[in-house]
Amino acid sequence: MIESRAWSWVAVAVAAIALVATPFVRVEAGAPVLDLPLDALFLVAMLSSAGLGLLVLRRRPGHVIGWLLLLNGVVLALTGFVESAAQLSLSGAALSTPVRLAAVWQTHGWSATFAPLVALAWVFPDGRLLSRRWRVPAALGTASFVVTLASGVLSRSPLDRPYDVVPPLAVLPDGVGSALQLVGLLGMLLTFVAGFACLVMRFRASRGVERHQLKWIALSGASVPVSIACGILDPGTDGPTAVTVVPFVLMLVVVPLSISIAVLRYRLYDIDRLISVAVLYGVLTALLGGAFVGVIVLGGVVLGDGSTITTAVATLGVALAFRPLRDRTQRRVDHRFNRARYDAMEAVDAFLDDVRSGRVEPEVVAGVLARGLRDPTLRLYFWLPDPGVHADSAGRLVPQLPDHPVGRTPIRRGDLLVATLIHDPDTGSAPGTMDAVLVRAGLAIEVARLRVEVRRQLAEVQDSRLRILSATQAERRRLERDLHDGAQQRLVSVGLDLRHLQQTLSDKRVSIALDGAVSGLSEAIQELRDLANGVRPNALDAGLASAFSGLAASARLPTAVDATDQRFAPEIEAAAYFVASEGLANAVKHSGASRVRLIAAHADGVLRVAVVDDGRGGATPGGGSGLVGLADRLASVGGRLAIDSGPGRGTRLEVEIPCA
């Protein structure tokens, strides 16, 4: 590792010496020290390639990609130095061999500039060839670059302008140099094609991280044909102009930067967003630009050239079309280049349509996000500010969020925490996917949170009512015991004492008076018993079936009983009993019925109680029937009351009480 580090600093030293020496050589040649636009770009390209190569070697010691990037930077630095040295051949000074070689290099050394970049295509992203079978083609490709460079430098071909005044080296015989150059160029072309084939083969076989790495090189690789096309179309006759140099230098910056991002995996997944944005705005520019030009041309034909109306209409049309066209194009681009984001957004949009139409509840948004983001472990917990804890979609409090999966994404509306998304860390790893999906589903998530909070508050109210009812029932039972065991027993005892005293006295008037007192005590005792039964009927001690049978036995109408023997909570049995008692009393007093049925059945976690008569019907909850009070009592245990009482069809009073 020490030797590798030493060689890397040797390469840096060579590049630094070339950079420092370049201005001095230009001064000697009488050329400008700096050509700011082009020199600045060239310097950025050299420094970025060399610097990124050093960074890769520091993070991944010995990595071939790092060495190739560093070599590319050194080649660029030496190219700048050689170009400055070649300018000495134009200064009128004596032509030395190094200066002559520099001028020759300016014409024939171009292949050295492309060599590191082509090598990168062969070994990207792991620094190795596809397989051992590729060693021979790699050697032949390297030889083609060497042959092209050497045959050009040693040939008798005249140099490019403005160095055509410098005689070539002319080492090779006539025709040999040209033939070798042709062979070398053909080999270089095949090497370019093979490098592209390597990338394609790797991409087709890649998954996950490697696929994103290859997307980076594909994106930056698009600058290579652009640079070549600009060089071909360059109108300059005295050497390359900015048309060639600027795209070429930008290519030399973009390619190393993309390769470094891919190798170091820093913001690796940004590539999908970059490709999407590049394609999106490229298409938008083409469509809107074409529409603008079309309107201008059409307006020029109709209204004449220079019409401000045409320009205004074209500008307004482009402005109005931008937003809808962008949204439509974004969907198409996502479908092609960012399918994960597209599928997630489609799932959320379909869900929002279902929510608006009432087909689904907003609380199922967690399942929609899990399917859209393809993460079965995804969970959504809503934040309830009042208790200061999270809750699930059913309103159950979750004091502590689960430890797995470990991904956490808070969902906020301004400064308010709405919910927390628990998910796999890799879910929505493509930049912008998670944020875009959560923004689109944000309103549904907030509505779901509000519904959960309201449901939770209603459940607390219901629990409170049940606690109050339970406490009331317990107090009534205590009062019942006190009446039965206290005042009632004492009155019975006083009555017995009076009877005993009556038997011992012979005075008839006193005996008659005692009879009246005993009768009064009997009536008081019966009133106490009725009062105790009104608090909580003793008949319920044996269950609803027994209590209903007792009601039927004391009724003044033939009454049939069909009641379950199952036991329920005391407050539920009491509510059911009072419904049956009140319904039976109403049937006897008001219905004109000939018979009544009392029904109590339990199914699916619900106790159903019904009082059915064959009377005249027409019953309503009002009118002093006592049904309003029954409805309030049922509401305290979550029950519902319904009356079916059409004229001439009898009356059916039915309640449902949840008792799961």
CB-based burial label for 144 (10 Å; 0-12, 13-18, 19+): buried
Task: Give the tens place of pLDDT for each residue, 475-506.
Answer: 666 666 666 666 666 676 677 767 777 677 76
pLDDT of 515: 72
Residue 608 in domain: yes
In terms of pLDDT, which residue wins out, 148 or 291? 148
Confidence of residue 626 (pLDDT cuts 50, 70, 90): low
Instruction: Note whether 248 and 107 are same-domain residues.
Output: yes
pLDDT of 421: 92
- Across residues 435-453, what is the average pLDDT? 89
Domain that holds residue 471: 460-535
Distance of alpha carbon 71 from alpha carbon 568, whole angstroms: 86
Instruction: Note whether 215 and 81 are same-domain residues.
Output: yes
Distance of alpha carbon 331 from alpha carbon 345, whole angstroms: 9
Instruction: Note whether 247 and 303 are same-domain residues.
Output: no
Q: What proportion of the chain, given as a percentage, has pLDDT over 70?
A: 79
611 contacts 580 by C-beta, under 8 angstroms: yes
Dihedral, CA of residue 250, residue 255, residue 261 and residue 262, to nearest 10: 160
Q: Is the pLDDT of residue 395 over 70?
A: yes
pLDDT of 607: 93
Task: Give the tens place of pLDDT for each residue, 284-302.
Answer: 777 777 777 777 777 766 6
pLDDT of 381: 94
Tokens of 263: 């190798």
Number of domains in the chain: 4
Confidence of residue 414 (pLDDT cuts 50, 70, 90): confident
Residue 387 in domain: no
Number of helices followed by number of strands (H, E) in the chain: 21, 10
Distance of alpha carbon 371 from the chain centroid: 10
In terms of pLDDT, which residue wins out, 583 or 467? 583
C-alpha pair distances (Å), 463 with each of 457, 459, 467, 571: 10, 6, 6, 13
Residue 545 in domain: yes
Which of 247, 268, 289 finishes a domain? 268
Which of 319, 337, 355 finishes a domain? 337
Q: Is the pLDDT of residue 245 over 50?
A: yes
pLDDT of 272: 55
Instruction: Note whether 478 and 592 are same-domain residues.
Output: no
Report helix, strand or coil for 644: strand
List, as own/partner pairs, every contact residues 48-52 make where C-beta atoms lie below 8 angstroms and the sequence separation is at least 24, other chains included: 48/73, 48/252, 48/253, 48/256, 48/257, 49/73, 49/76, 49/252, 49/253, 49/256, 50/11, 50/12, 50/15, 50/74, 50/76, 50/77, 52/256, 52/257, 52/259, 52/260
Q: Is the pLDDT of residue 534 over 60?
A: no
CA dihedral for 438, 439, 442, 443, sign (positive or negative): negative
What letter does residue 403 receive in the DSSP assignment? S
pLDDT of 274: 53
- φ and ψ at residue 651, rounded to 5 degrees: -130, 140
Instruction: Note whether 514 and 545 are same-domain residues.
Output: no
- Across residues 550-575, what is the average pLDDT? 88
Beta strand 596-603 with 379-384 is: unpaired
Distance of alpha carbon 113 from alpha carbon 145, whole angstroms: 10
Instruction: Note whether 9 and 101 are same-domain residues.
Output: yes
pLDDT of 268: 42
Residue 415 in domain: no
Task: Give the tens place of pLDDT for each residue, 425-435.
Answer: 877 666 567 88
46 contacts 14 by C-beta, under 8 angstroms: no
Confidence of residue 635 (pLDDT cuts 50, 70, 90): confident
pLDDT of 659: 83
Instruction: Note whether 483 and 527 are same-domain residues.
Output: yes
Q: What proportion of the chain, given as a percentage, has pLDDT over 90?
A: 12
Residue 631 in domain: yes
Which of 489, 508, 535 finishes a domain? 535
Instruction: Note whether 25 and 110 are same-domain residues.
Output: yes
Instruction: Note whether 526 and 543 are same-domain residues.
Output: no
Residue 163 in domain: yes
Strand ranges of the sheet holding 407-413, from the earlier edge strand across to the other edge: 397-398, 389-391, 379-384, 416-423, 407-413
What average pLDDT is seen over the chain?
Answer: 80
In terms of pLDDT, which residue wins out, 624 or 316? 316
Instruction: Note whether 51 and 109 are same-domain residues.
Output: yes
Task: Give the tens place of pLDDT for each residue, 51-105.
Answer: 777 877 877 788 888 888 888 888 888 888 888 888 888 877 777 888 889 888 8
Query: pTM here?
Result: 0.47
pLDDT of 269: 46
- Across residues 362-383, what is the average pLDDT? 90
Instruction: Note whether 239 and 326 are same-domain residues.
Output: no
pLDDT of 63: 82
Instruction: Note whether 203 and 113 are same-domain residues.
Output: yes
CATH number reported for the structural domain that contains residue 612 in this entry: 3.30.565.10
What letter does residue 234 receive in the DSSP assignment? -
* DSSP conformation letters of 418-454: EEEEEE-TTTT-STTHHHHHHHHTHHHHHHHHHHHHH
Query: For 131-145, 319-333, 586-600, which range has the lowest pLDDT when averaged over its residues?
Result: 319-333
pLDDT of 445: 92
Residue 429 in domain: no
Task: Give the tens place of pLDDT for each residue, 191-222.
Answer: 988 988 888 888 888 776 667 677 777 767 66
280 contacts 337 by C-beta, under 8 angstroms: no
Residue 385 in domain: no
Confidence of residue 266 (pLDDT cuts 50, 70, 90): very low
